[in-house]
Amino acid sequence: MPKIYIHPQFHTAPKMSSEIQVEVPEETTLGEFIREVCGPDKRLLFKIMDETGEVRPHVAIFVGNDHCKYLGGLKAKVAPSDEVSIYPALSGG
């Protein structure tokens, strides 16, 4: 069962857990996995993806140690043993 870590900045409820495990079919894409995790919480999904279904520019999503943009974006496959992490993008000087 893939595990997901969601940085507290994205939490939409005071006691929302940062680590969630979700059972998904084996051929699940990253986009489908994130939608499944967010479920009915449209506010959480809106913080991660824009209206067109793309990852927001200020969000960094990793599958294992690899940024999703190097794996095919939201079309990347999520294996049952994968760990997905969602962080606010870091920048500055």
- pLDDT tens digits, 53-63: 999 999 999 99
Whole-number pLDDT of residue 75: 95
The pLDDT assigned to 77 comes to: 92
What pLDDT does 22 receive? 81
In the structure, what pLDDT confidence band is assigned to residue 93 with cuts at 50, 70 and 90? low
pLDDT of 72 reads 94
Taken in order of first residue, the domains within the chain and their CATH numbers are 3-88 (3.10.20.30)
Question: pLDDT tens for residues 7-17?
Answer: 888 888 777 78
Contacts of 53 (CB under 8 A, 6+ apart): 31, 74
Residue 7 C-alpha from the chain's centroid: 10
Confidence of residue 86 (pLDDT cuts 50, 70, 90): very high
8 A C-beta contact, residue 48 and residue 89? no
Taking the C-alpha atoms of residue 4 and residue 76, their distance in angstroms, rounded to an integer, is 15
What is the pTM assigned to this prediction? 0.86
